[in-house]
Amino acid sequence: MKYFDYIDEDLRSEEVSIKDIAKNIPTPFYCYSANAFKNNFNVLKNAFKDLELKICYATKSNSNLSILNILQKEGAGVDVVSAGELRKSLMANISPQDIVFSGVGKTYEEIEYAISNNIFQINVESVSELSAINKIAHKLNLVQQIGIRLNPDIAGKTHKNISTGSLSDKFGIPFDEVEEIFLNREIFSNLNIVGIAFHIGSQIHDIEPFQAVFKKTNELLKKINKNEQVIKVLDIGGGYGVDYENNNEEFPILEYADLVKSSFDTNELTIVIEPGRYLSWNTGALITKVLYIKKHGNKKFIITDSGMNDLMRPALYDSYHKIVPVSKIKNTEKIPTDIVGPICESTDKLLSTSEFYDVKEGDLLAILNSGAYGSSMSSNYNVRPLIEEILIDKDTFSTIRKRQSFEDIIVQEIEL
Ligand SMILES: Cc1ncc(COP(=O)(O)O)c(C=O)c1O
């Protein structure tokens, strides 16, 4: 589904022209469609319509409070990976009983904060972490529900930097150790260890890796649940691939939902999913201005006012984002072209292409499909401010995060 498209010459989202936003807001800025989040959530919800499951949005993909508010109203829970994400989710009125806390390196303070807030489940990634949570829960005189994150040793057939399911990755606990944990679960007097969790990676387009991990997990479930229903919660992660390249590579979500239903005893198990990108990727665009154009021999550089500090994915994962002009341009130029940012790094490249629109200095460009892992991964590198975020809702647009001022950036520094 396209949430940014041209009407006549103008790029629009919902009923708002991006050009009109840029008349009021200095570039670069992110803008999102509120209704895109709602639609994406409901596509997922409908795919699982006859199954009661917890859809826990991976807030790391985009954790703006207004966006969490939208998803909360649609009925989403969240998957968080830090006390910061947890605090924001609670501020957005996500019910604690709809929150799972993942991550390989939770601190004492983060665990204490999570337990005190009575969250649904902490997904644990090592035996040492399990002992630490037990001690903290004991001190608080509380019992915490726990999921054990498996490392299934199955790679998600994706970019090596976003694969998480192999033994060579830092995530999860190997299968044989997981069985041990369940056998000895009584040792952990302040933990209710009833869950299994996994997440094998991101941008997975095929159903096969999921089939493989479901099969392996089922064998483990059968062993552990042989005499009594010990495992009651199954958190099957996220990772559903989206079609950045526009290659007709839509994730087969209905087939996936059928696979979940046919693989597991859903009457006995509460199923949790943790989609991030699937809900947020195409909801947003990064709007930037062309500052300068230059040629080095037969190579053209289009230099924009937005770079890898605003959108890190191309530099980090070689990922592709389609870039289009905000006001339609008919002519293109066939010449090797790099669209680059202002950051002092050669990897600060937003796109390499053999042909691009014949843009002029001062033109506006939209870096599409930047709703996921865009703003949430941005940084102050080169002492550049975090940029403004705008939410479009039908024919209105509002600021949902202000651009940082220089004073905001410098306020924590202590000059000796
Ligand atoms: C534990 C966990 N769950 C869910 C996600 C969301 O992944 P995606 O955005 O690919 O759906 C991630 C992503 O890194 C993750 O680490």
What is the CATH number for 85? 3.20.20.10
Record the tokens describing residue 56, joined without a space.
């826990």
Query: Whole-angstrom Cα distance, residue 350 to residue 338?
Result: 8
Which residue in 168, 227, 248, 344 is the catalytic one? 344
344 catalytic per annotation: yes
- The answer, yes or no, to whether any atom of ligand 1 lies below 6 A from the CB of 274, is yes
pLDDT of residue 166: 75
Residue 117 lies in a domain: yes
Whether 213 and 110 share a structural domain: yes
CA 232 – ligand 1 centroid, Å: 22
Which domain does 19 fall in, by range? 4-32+281-410
Whether 288 and 367 share a structural domain: yes
* Spatial CB neighbours of 226, under 8 Å, sequence gap ≥ 6: none
pLDDT of residue 205: 94
CA 85 – ligand 1 centroid, Å: 14
10 C-beta neighbours (distance < 10 Å), count: 15
The pTM of the full predicted model, rounded to 2 decimals, is 0.96
- What distance, in Å, lies between the first and last C-alpha atoms of the chain? 53
- The answer, yes or no, to whether any atom of ligand 1 lies below 6 A from the CB of 313, is no
- The answer, yes or no, to whether any atom of ligand 1 lies below 6 A from the CB of 278, is yes
pLDDT of residue 167: 79
Domain boundary at 248, 279, 310, which? 279
- The answer, yes or no, to whether any atom of ligand 1 lies below 6 A from the CB of 58, is yes
pLDDT of residue 162: 62
Domain boundary at 233, 259, 279, which? 279
Residue 415 lies in a domain: no
Whether 235 and 324 share a structural domain: no
Backbone angles phi, psi at 63, to 5 degrees: -110, 20
CA 278 – ligand 1 centroid, Å: 10
Query: Whole-angstrom Cα distance, residue 276 to residue 61?
Result: 5
Whether 122 and 141 share a structural domain: yes
Q: Which atom of ligand 1 is nearest to the CA of 204?
A: 10
Residue type, 62: N
Residues of the chain with pLDDT under 70: 156-165
